[in-house]
Amino acid sequence: MIGNAMSEPTFATLVSRWYERNARDLPWREPGVGAWAILVSEVMLQQTPVVRVLPAWRAWLDRWPTPAALAEDTPAEAIRMWGRLGYPRRAVRLRDCAVAIVERHGGEVPDRLDQLLALPGVGTYTARAVAAFAFSQRHPVVDTNVRRVVCRAIAGEPDAGPATRPADLVATEKLLPAEPAAAALASAAFMELGAVICTARSPRCAMCPVESVCAWRASGQEAPSGPSRRPQRYAGTDRQVRGLLLAVLRETTGPVPHQRLDQVWPDDVQRTRALAGLVTDGLVEPVGEDSFRLLGDGPPMVPLS
DNA sequence: CATGCGTGGTG
DNA sequence: TCACCAAGCAT
């Protein structure tokens, strides 16, 4: 027991201490923030930087403080409120998620991992993040930041794999304190370390609380390997065309004649394909012969009899 | 398991 | 300038 008391601080302890002194004061981390607000923040933060999420998160919760409130509104309004956060399918899925929470869980965000995972738009990361941060449960929370931190500091490798793997969850779980609340704090701390110090491009090792125990540092800090995969260009892709189409639909209430949508992109084939994709994905619906609108942006179409 | 899916900031 | 992202998810 004396040996235990005198042992070196654990990895999680070092990072948690650093976090308690240096964490950014993000609003969804404040005490008393509910599970719904945390869930909304996690979905918005999927692939969108913190600085852009901040105002959108406040506006969203001001309008829809509960899952039930969002569930009663239209997908179209969800897409509009999403603004330019990107990947607007997340807005629709978040609304689907609110509907599911009302239908399956009486309007309360569930606290069980399997129930969270079953919600639309909630995957491995988000389910664990909500369980840990909203309900103080002891689950490894592994996002791209945590993968990078653990991969570098523990395994001594410069890069994490392309996607979260079961091995990442196991490796991270081993680092967590036994106490659930401490484990949740440690998970937030790992994420923060990866976001602020142990960044992908230029890690600030001089500021790092675990530099002295970092395996990557100890092994000479081998540079990240070359480009594993060539990222898709944005300019000229369907993705860009979808964004242009959606920008027009967002700023218009109700149906938009296709002639107006035609103006956003000259290539008929690509534009038509992009619009069809938006319909397939449940973001847009056709109205009448030649108009389109955001899903649910007006009264349902009544078939003529 | 590789892809597709938006957007705006930055070195 | 422009490649590279930034707390993933669904298929």
Confidence of residue A159 (pLDDT cuts 50, 70, 90): confident
CA of A267 to C1' of C1 (A): 26
Domains annotated on chain A, with CATH: 35-133 (1.10.340.30), 238-294 (1.10.10)
Is residue A236 predicted with pLDDT exceeding 60? yes
Query: Residue A303: its pLDDT value, please?
Result: 63
User: A138-152, A219-233, A257-271: lowest mean pLDDT where?
Assistant: A219-233
Q: Where are the alpha helices (DSSP H) in A72-219?
A: 75-82, 89-105, 113-117, 124-133, 144-150, 166-173, 180-196, 215-218
8-state DSSP, A153:
I
Query: Residue A6: its pLDDT value, please?
Result: 65
- Which entry of A42, A192, A211, A285 is annotated as an active-site residue? A42
Structure tokens given for A209: 């609380």
Structure tokens given for A75: 């997908």
Query: Residue A160: its pLDDT value, please?
Result: 80
CA of A124 to C1' of B10 (A): 30
User: A58-72, A154-168, A190-204: lowest mean pLDDT where?
Assistant: A154-168
pLDDT 10s digits, A265-285: 999 999 999 999 999 999 999
Query: Residue A304: its pLDDT value, please?
Result: 60
pLDDT 10s digits, A1-39: 544 556 779 999 999 999 999 999 999 999 999 999 999
Query: Closest Cα partner for A278 from A245, A256, A247?
Result: A245
Closest nucleotide to residue A117 (Cα to C1')? Answer: C9
pLDDT 10s digits, A134-153: 999 999 999 999 999 999 99
CA of A233 to C1' of B6 (A): 12
- Between strands A256-257 and A291-294, the pairing is antiparallel
**Residue whose pair of structure tokens reads 């149906």 in the numeric block:** A255
Of all protein residues, which has its CA closest to the C1' atom of B9?
Answer: A49
pLDDT 10s digits, A75-117: 999 999 999 999 999 999 999 999 999 999 999 999 999 999 9
Has A285 been annotated as catalytic? Answer: no
| E strand or H helix at A223 | none
Closest nucleotide to residue A283 (Cα to C1')? Answer: B5
Cα–Cα dist A230/A238, whole Å: 17
